[in-house]
């Protein structure tokens, strides 16, 4: 009963955040970006594994990568190998309130990659709040601040998304 009201209030707050948002936009590719932020849903083992695999490949390319995972559970697993937050560290509307999440949203990044196929509100909020110069995420029905959205077929995971990401960003010619 309260879920539709919560979703409506979240959408309204998100629109207000987006209208007040001022950021310096600049196109980046995987090659041109020096600092990359990766936001991802860490709830499932598969998504977590594929996301961290992608992060390691970016680090091998010499990128400075900031990682933040979200566990859509009341309690996070003990000692994850990456910065994370969980459901209890969000407000009733779904806005993150943990220090790690707020710190991540304030980082100056060249490129923000949001690996959030399920449109989880805390990750949507952080992506919108981020000051990254170039933002990329899954195609979404919610209001957002993405510069590029990639639509992926149902059932395809993070690995498919990152392959498509590399393909499309590889076609961008920077002047």
Domain count, the chain: 1
Q: Which helix (H) or strand (E) holds 6?
A: helix 2-20
Tokens, residue 88: 């209890």
pLDDT value at residue 155? 83
Residue 175 lies in a domain: no
Query: 152-175: per-residue pLDDT in tens?
Result: 998 888 999 999 999 999 898 887
Domain-embedded: residue 118: yes
Q: What is the pTM of this model?
A: 0.93
pLDDT tens digits, one per residue of 55-68: 999 999 999 999 99
CA–CA distance from 50 to each of 2, 86, 95, 130, 163 (Å)? Answer: 34, 19, 25, 23, 11
pLDDT at 145 over 90: no
CATH of the domain at 54: 3.40.50
């Amino acid at each position: 009963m309260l879920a539709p009201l919560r979703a409506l209030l979240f959408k309204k707050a998100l629109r207000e955040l987006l209208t007040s948002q001022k950021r310096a936009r600049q196109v980046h590719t995987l090659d041109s970006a020096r600092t990359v932020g990766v936001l991802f849903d860490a709830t499932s083992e598969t998504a977590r594994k594929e996301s961290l695999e992608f992060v390691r490949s970016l680090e091998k390319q010499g990128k400075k990568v900031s990682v933040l995972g979200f566990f859509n559970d009341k309690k996070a697993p003990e000692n994850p190998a990456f910065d994370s937050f969980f459901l209890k560290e969000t407000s009733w509307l779904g806005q993150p309130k943990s220090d790690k999440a707020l710190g991540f949203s304030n980082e100056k990044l060249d490129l923000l990659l949001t690996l959030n196929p399920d449109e989880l509100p805390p990750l949507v909020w952080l992506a919108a709040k981020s000051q990254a110069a170039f933002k990329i995420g899954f195609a979404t029905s919610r209001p957002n601040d993405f510069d590029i959205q990639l639509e992926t077929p149902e059932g395809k995971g993070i690995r498919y998304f990152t392959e498509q990401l590399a393909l499309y960003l590889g076609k961008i010619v920077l002047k």
